[in-house]
Every structure is written in C-alpha cells, then in structure tokens.
Amino acid sequence: MTTISAQRLAKVFVEVADTLVDEFDLIDFLHMLTDRTASLVGASTVGLLLADQHGQLQFMAASDENTKLLELFQVQNEEGPCLDAYHTARPVINADLRQAEDRWPRFAPRAAVAGFRAVHAFPLSLRKEVIGALNVFGAEVGGGFDDGDVQIIQALADVAAIGLLQQRTISRGEVLTEQLQGALNSRIVIEQAKGAIAQASGISVDEAFTVIRGHARRTNRRLGDVARTIVTDPASLATITGP
C-alpha cells in the first residue's frame, strides 16, 4: 500500500473521535472502524475479533460481512494470524497466504479460496492485556506495508481498544469486562436476527444481513438495536421484511 495522505488520516481520526461520545454503540463503532481502515489502506476486507470470557476470539465487525468471511474469522480460534497476534501481542505483517500453508494449514487455504493473497493482523491491547485483534486482508501480495503503514494501522487498532473504555470511569477494570460482555452479546443478537430475517423472507443469512443493515441506515438506528427489535418483537419482522 502507498502511505496514506495526512489529510485523509486526520479526517478518519476526527471521525473516529467524534463517535466516542454519548449514545455510543460499540458494534456500530467497530463496523465504522473496519470500514475506514479498509478504505484507508485499500484492503479487500478488514475484520475485528475480541476475546470472550473463555479466551476465545469472537468475530465482532467487518468492513464486509458474509458467511465465507465469518468462517475465516471463526477458524482463527484454532490458528491464524489473529490468534498469533493475540498470543504474541505483536503484529503479523505481509503474510503471503500462498506461502502460509505450513504455518496455518486450515486458515491459509480457506483465505486463498476466498480470493485473498496477503493477510495482516494487529493486536488490540489495553493496559498490557491483549483483548483481540484487527485482521486486514489484501487481494495482492507485494503492495506490502511499510513501517509507516504498520504504525497507522496499529494506531487505529489502539483506538478500537480505547473504544471499549468509552465510559467515563476508565479507572475501573470492571468497566472493560462489562463493555466487552455487552458487545459480545450484541454480536450474538445480530446473528440471531440474521436467522430470523432469513427465515421470514426466505433468503440467505448473508442477504438477511444486508436487509438489516439497510434498514438500520434508512431509519438511522443502530445495527444492534434493529437486530434486538427483530428477535424480541415479532411484529417488527413484517415492517423490516415488507416492501
């Protein structure tokens, strides 16, 4: 990738800071951050994983979401660049997926089939504790990240981690656990809502996600709130799936 212009970078950081206010929703924030990271670095897909109470990495948000990608994130509970970044607290940079079959025998071929050639992973850290990882996929090898790029992406990953401590009482370690658990549960609600819409409309879960996100954008509501309404209020299904 070519190093990002200062103007674009400044714009993204202002936008990110602007969302760190009241009425903050972590899932929406992480979606925004993965979108912006993808467009900044010209990556095919950017995803974000957080560790749950079992120490398992769970998918939270991506610039692009479909079943194939979800599987690619999910398999990294066992192996893959995110698991490596999570365990070592160091970024994995410019890994060539065609050369990575020995390193990640399950992850690498799947990622290659999904059309990716390069992968990077950045640890998300707070107070020396790694809480997840940011995953960047590229369609080509060779447009490698230089040191400047790496620092910028790592800075965005650090901002994502700070988003978890958005509440004012940053001094309390308990707040992190509360936020993290809330966000992990919100992500489950989104999957449940995808299932409900898929069933109600006779479409795939991937199409259902597009419907839910589209509805959230049109009505200017949070993705998590729309998803929750879908699975707790059966009457809302007709509204959302209707013409």
Partner 1 sequence: MSDTDDPTAEAMEHVARQPAAGVLDGVVAALQRLCSAAAGALAASGAGVSVMAEDGARGIAAASDPASARIEELQFVLGEGPCIDAFASRRPILVPDLSDGPAHRWPAYTPAAHDEGVRAVFAFPLQVGAARLGVLDVFRARAGPLTGDQLRQAFAFTDLAVRTLLDGQDDAIPGAAADGLDEAIEHSAELFQAQGMVMVQLGLPLAEALVRIRAYTYAENRRLTDVARDIVARRLRFDPDHS
Question: Which residues make up the interface to partner 1 (CB under 8 A)?
Answer: 52-54, 56, 58-59, 67, 70, 74, 77, 173-174, 177-179, 181-182, 185-186, 188-189, 191-200, 205, 227-228, 230-232, 234, 237
| Tokens standing for residue 88 | 């070592």
Residues 6+ apart with CB under 8 A from 217: none
Q: Which is nearer to partner 1, 177 or 219 (CB)?
A: 177
Q: Which is nearer to partner 1, 95 or 198 (CB)?
A: 198
- Give me the least distance between CB of 63 and partner 1, in Å please: 17
Q: Is 199 helix (H, G, I), strand (E, B) or coil?
A: helix
- Give me the least distance between CB of 118 and partner 1, in Å please: 25
- Give me the least distance between CB of 62 and partner 1, in Å please: 12
Q: Which is nearer to partner 1, 4 or 200 (CB)?
A: 200
Q: Which is nearer to partner 1, 79 or 94 (CB)?
A: 79
- Give me the least distance between CB of 178 and partner 1, in Å please: 5
Contact 68, 114 (CB under 8 A): yes
- Give me the least distance between CB of 219 and partner 1, in Å please: 18
Measured in degrees and rounded to the nearest 5, phi and psi for residue 133 equal -155, 150
Say how far apart CA 239 and CA 221 lie, in whole Å: 14
Helices and strands (H, E) in the chain, number of each type: 10, 5
Q: Which is nearer to partner 1, 59 or 145 (CB)?
A: 59
Q: What is the 3-state secondary structure (H, E, C) of 26-51?
A: HHHHHHHHHHHHHHHHCCCEEEEEEE
| Tokens standing for residue 27 | 């899932």
Contact 131, 183 (CB under 8 A): no
- Give me the least distance between CB of 14 and partner 1, in Å please: 29
Contact 161, 124 (CB under 8 A): yes
Q: Which is nearer to partner 1, 1 or 51 (CB)?
A: 51
